[in-house]
Chain A
């Protein structure tokens, strides 16, 4: 395990060097075996039975904590609503959530395969409450380095539109 890690570090630094161009390339920093697998995971294991990350956990029953108790998604995606949602998303969410890529927070792709729409909307509308009271939201905060989900003051309608946009991703 240790050997594999070390050699991948070397490979990584070679890779870095090859795309460095004219930039300074002498110092690639130092490598230190501090992968989470060695120190943190065993502790985590004793606390949680599952090793699945919070961002990958599938929970389609939990509605979360907040103002949204029930949402019904139409059989078909409402494209107008999704378009509105995309506008809101660009304005209010993109600073931390990028489509197709883990950024400050998780990517929204496929979120409705893992969470109920109520949970998603409550996370948008009541992030402070969710982080305190919802177990998955709590774990997510840890998984994403303690970076808090910001309350961007969306209306319920705007949050609903964002959910519709997420269905298109």
Chain B
């Protein structure tokens, strides 16, 4: 007995010791992370985040949807890459979305999401995002969170200075990174200089249905067009593009494109060009590019090849384009909420160059030119300069704004976010990033009305920040609280693919419009089976069409006979559920495609070409009810010369 109490006493003492130790450690480490950081990102189970963040997937080709401040991942929206989880690019309905002039392209490099705006403020209707590799612009509808339109950009390559929207979503802009021969032709590469062209494409967006159309392409000198942003407020009607490789090098750009002390920001007056085009200006040029549209009512996409594009020579439109000299191969090109300041982030520099829109207009009016490049007037650097931010950092890339007079710039080489003041240009704070930050995002941070509560930095390298996963490790986002004087690091979270850029928006603007189901009464899919009396199987030569329905928890029909080896079997499957969050799936053994995952009221189609005689099962891969495991069926496959009658039954 005495022994026991001694042990108990000792244990107690040890625990007290441990306790005091833990306390000591905590206070020692609180310098790196303020103690209430966890509280600030804690979103209670069952409650919602304040912001949506649409984060580009880079080389995953997709767009992921996170909540802020929690960093929770809600959905990966397939855009430019096939996604077997959602059958995007696998089912017959969405295959046309990935059609291009090069045929079916199942992948792209997704870079810069931007949310549609009205009066310079986020309106939450659409997200636009660019495909970099096979140049495309996609539109995602924020009622369904699905990609509903993709348009290919002709005469373009490495579609990088994209896809940014003007103040009323009049245009979404797609600028080429590579200059290329226009039209494409067989010619020596080293004859690039003076012969290649850089196309800046302005895609009109229909105010009613959001339909995109290439209104015109501005054929610029053969530089590389890196990033862009629209003017806003006083500078609405202009668009600004950073350029590099004004040397027009075609090889070893690492060296040869860094020779000039200054490259340019191209200031494009799109209002003037729009007027010129509306009055019949421009040249119609033969082209070949795909325009893919997904219709929410037919649940199907169509792809149309367009054969013409309107091209504008900037020299034919007086006052259309000016060059603003900007030091050291500027990368990001950002415009402050007032529209007055245009920031060029010279990526080989330590300093930021800020141009003044007012000074630019003044210099243009007084024709204070410093020469020309291919006939386009170059303004004098000193005449347009508003100020320089002596950052003390290295490798500035991108800038966003909090709407309270502060700007936040990422520095790739020195791996940090630097906060500075507009107009005084003084640096007021800096926080490290882990590691090598690219873009950053403040919700609404490139609009007239930023929501300056958080900044999210997107990092290219994470090395030791997470549990290792072999040579390939995750990239990441880092969330900082910017509501106070000093930025405060709150959270690190891994991302899907490479997060090139993100667009954030208050959740309240978007969530109320999010669709819950597709109404069966509005389903206009040509192969829909809207009720069980329409269930049928039809043969047309070697094609078999199964018009199937699904509801918790069975398929109708679930016994199918009369299918033969060599047939091409189309499963047109309609989910008859009309309740929120009750999708059903279907997967067929040996089908050389993905599953289907069908939302309530939706119809989707997959193709199966049976090669072996037998009785082959199919089932629902989405856990739909307590009887999900019973949701299954069989297809009897008979030899090619069989005369078994085609039949489909359920419960017989």
Contacts and interface: CB of A to CB of B under 8 A. Distances in A.
A90 interface: yes
B579 A151 contact: yes
A16 interface: no
Interface in A107-159: 145-148, 150-153
B578 A95 contact: no
Interface string B519-553: 01100000000111100000000000000010111
B599 interface: no
B626 interface: yes
Interface string B149-189: 00000000000000000000000000000000000000000
Given A145-B627, A152-B578, A103 B552 contact: no
Interface in B600-622: none
Contacts of B533: 90, 94
B514 interface: no
A54 interface: no
User: What is the interface residue range for chain A against chain B?
Assistant: 10 to 19
Contact of B549 (A95, A103, A150): A95
Nearest to A151: B579
Interface in B559-584: 576-579, 582
Interface string A63-95: 000000000000000000000000000111011
Contacts of A92: 520, 531, 576, 578
Contact of B531 (A91, A104, A145, A151): A91
B556 interface: yes
A96 interface: yes
Contacts of A90: 531, 533
Nearest to B530: A91
A152 B627 contact: no
A153 B579 contact: yes
Contacts of B517: 153
A94 B549 CA distance: 11
B interface secondary structure, majority: loop
Contacts of A96: 551
Nearest to A154: B578
Contacts of A153: 517, 578-579
Given A91-B520, A95-B532, A95-B551, A150 B556 contact: no
Interface string A8-24: 00000000000000000
A147 B626 CA distance: 7
A150 B575 CA distance: 12
Contacts of A104: 554
Given A92-B578, A103-B651, A145-B627, A150 B552 contact: yes
A39 B497 CA distance: 56
B390 interface: no
A96 B530 CA distance: 14
B625 interface: yes
A148 to B, nearest CB: 6
Contact of B626 (A94, A95, A103, A146): A146
Contacts of A147: 552-553, 625-627
A77 B327 CA distance: 84
Contacts of A148: 552, 625-626
B320 to A, nearest CB: 54
Contacts of B625: 147-148
A92 B556 CA distance: 14
Contacts of B554: 95, 104
A92 B520 CA distance: 9
Nearest to A147: B627
Contacts of B521: 91
A151 B578 contact: yes
10 contacts: A90-B531, A94-B533, A95-B549, A95-B576, A96-B551, A145-B627, A147-B625, A151-B578, A152-B576, A152-B577
Interface of A: 90-92, 94-96, 103-104, 145-148, 150-153
Given A95-B576, A150-B579, 18 more contacts: A90-B531, A94-B531, A95-B531, A95-B551, A95-B554, A95-B556, A145-B627, A147-B552, A147-B627, A148-B552, A148-B626, A150-B551, A150-B552, A150-B578, A150-B582, A151-B578, A152-B578, A152-B579
Which 10 residue pairs of A and B lie closest in terms of their CB atoms, listed nearest first?
A153-B578, A151-B579, A95-B551, A152-B578, A146-B626, A94-B532, A91-B531, A95-B532, A95-B576, A90-B531
